[in-house]
Amino acid sequence: MSDPVAAITEAAATGETAAIFADIRHVLGVDVVNLIWRHLATIDAALPWAWGTLRPLYADGLVLDEATTLRREVALPTMPSIRAEVFAGLGLQPGALTAIRDVLAAYDHTNAMAVVALSALRARLDGRTPRNAGAAAPSAVVAAPRTKLPPLLSLTDMQAETAALVIALNMLGTRRPGAVLASMYRHLAHWPSYLSLAWLLLAPVDSDGRLAAAINQAQREALARAERLLVGLGGSPSPPPAVAAAISSAIEPFVEDVIVRMLVICAFLRRVTA
């Protein structure tokens, strides 16, 4: 498997990195370690500091609370749910639909948490101080059942047409050239007909500006949620300046584009595929 940015695969992780990856899966209640964490693992001292700083906010429920609010406040483009006959006509049987919905649910769960937590971390690295007096007390964390996801495909694992479709989908809603390739599409590439349906659903709302409007609104809401988390990061020790700069640079394309973009797209696809 190859990654679109420098990253350590879960299978190749050893020692402290493997232990942190295992802890991320446990604390987030997910089956895979998202690309941003695997990317940070390639930067000297970045992953231990970043995860060590954010872990308490994940573990005590603060990140989940703010992410839940963010997901509730994101204004998605309207679209009716897809009829069962449509999926059947695409060759997507109930077992495939269950697996697709599991992929969407997993990313819907992690995207909101990641964009809020990492936006707060980047603000902390850039020397921002919180404007509000304090954050609300966290809710009790209820562990979600872990769902096994299919293997994460590389572009070379796919048929040429499917790989081209993944790349085309990745450009929808992006605000920059050379955008990081979203892992969700690589997971969904096990079902090329579903990717084709996703294109047909997303391309119109991208071309008429509704997707961009939803992403911009989600970005504003994410920053507001991150502001509340920043309170909890005020006492955390700072990494060396060179490490801080490297972490902030690594996080930037994720929180400014790919994660917030996929937050909206994943939630939209999950709603119409319900």
- The overall average pLDDT reported for the chain is 90
The type of residue at 210 is R
The angle formed by the CA atoms of residues 108, 36 and 160, to the nearest 5 degrees, is 80
- Residue 224 DSSP SS3: helix
pLDDT at site 135: 52
pLDDT of residue 223: 92
Q: How confident is the model at residue 134 (pLDDT cuts 50, 70, 90)?
A: low
Among 239, 242, 149, which Cα is nearest to 187's?
A: 149
pTM, 2 dp = 0.89
Residue 230: what pLDDT? 87
- The burial class, CB within 10 Å (0-12 / 13-18 / 19+), for 196 is middle
- Residues in contact with 209: Cβ distance below 8 Å, sequence separation at least 6, in sequence order: none
Q: How far is CA 264 from the centre of its chain?
A: 10
Q: What is the pLDDT of residues 191-214, one digit of tens each?
A: 999 999 999 999 999 999 999 999
